[in-house]
Amino acid sequence: MPMTSSGRISGRPALFIPCLVDAFAPEVGQAVFAVLRRLGIDPVYPQKQTCCGQPAFNSGYRKEARAAARHFIEVFDPYGPIICPSGSCVAMVRHHYAPLFDKDRTWGPRAAQAAARTFEFTEYLVDVLGVEDVGAGFSGCVTYHDSCHLLNTLGIADQPRRLLANVAGAEFVEMPDSDHCCGFGGSFSVKYPDISAALLEDKVKNILASGADTVVGCDMGCLMNIEGMLHRKHLPMRVMHIAQVLAGQKASMEKKPG
């Protein structure tokens, strides 16, 4: 793995944009790019990238997951740090790629290298670049939802909060039980809809109890799930990916009628 004298990963940074962002919230990918450019980083977006293989892996389809992982590794092999606005997808690459190829002498080391170069967006800003103030401004009261993979698998909790604390004009408040699941969990919400809905009800109650007007997170699956219930209940809460706040974008809820 190429490294600089300071210990940083060398090579041009590359953006890995997850399926949900690509399909439903491309503005989040644009926000990530805008923030990095503001900080003097010039990332590339490899056009041949596809899914990291997490849905297949979680459903037990190891052969299909390996195929997706091989493609990911090949696409991102020419680049340096791999930056992704999703704790869930980063957790897949970092913790499950190497075990998928644990007996493969060729792909095993390549998977381990890809895993070591892959960072969640806020993790990259705070832990790699050492940046906690990106020069962002926002008007409103913000609360934060800890997504499960981001918190429990990657151990990322302080980084998003540090970034939000340095957004000019924003008031940050903690919601009760911010680390409780929102009920999405990918296919979990489909397989166990009643449990998922109950978890989501609790999450929405906690969001409202915070008194904030905007809920922010780092994973689009969670945010889409939360936004859906807020919209069905006709609640005026804004829902934003943290990259959108840091880039100065308007909230997605403001685009919807009713």
pLDDT at 137: 96
pLDDT at 257: 35
Q: Is the pLDDT of residue 7 over 70?
A: no
Separation between Cα atoms, residue 257 and residue 138, nearest integer Å:
23
pLDDT at 197: 87
Which of 218, 224, 226, 221 is CA-nearest to residue 244? 218
Separation between Cα atoms, residue 190 and residue 193, nearest integer Å:
5
**Mean per-residue pLDDT of the chain:** 92
Torsion-angle region of 41 (φ positive above 0: left; ψ -120 to 50: alpha; else: beta): beta
Query: Rg of the chain over CA atoms, in angstroms?
Result: 18
Separation between Cα atoms, residue 142 and residue 243, nearest integer Å:
14
pLDDT at 253: 38
Separation between Cα atoms, residue 243 and residue 248, nearest integer Å:
8
Which of 230, 171, 242, 234 is CA-nearest to residue 206? 230
- Other C-beta atoms closer than 10 Å to the C-beta of 60 total 8
Q: Which residues pair with 214 in a beta bridge?
A: 142, 238
Q: Is the pLDDT of residue 101 over 80?
A: yes
Q: Is the pLDDT of residue 3 over 90?
A: no
Would you say the pTM of this structure is higher than 0.85? yes
* Segment holding 223, helix H or strand E: helix 220-232
CA diameter of the chain: 56
Tokens 């740090």 locate to 81
Q: Which residue has the higher pLDDT, 132 or 103?
A: 132
pLDDT in tens, 29-57: 999 999 999 999 999 999 999 999 999 99
Q: What is the mean pLDDT of residues 139-166?
A: 97
What percentage of the chain exceeds 90 in pLDDT?
A: 84
pLDDT at 258: 34
Q: Is the pLDDT of residue 87 over 80?
A: yes
pLDDT at 196: 82
CA atoms within 13 A on the CB side of 117: 26
Q: Is the pLDDT of residue 254 over 60?
A: no
Separation between Cα atoms, residue 198 and residue 200, nearest integer Å:
5
Q: What is the mean pLDDT of residues 226-254?
A: 86
150 confidence band (pLDDT: 50, 70, 90): very high
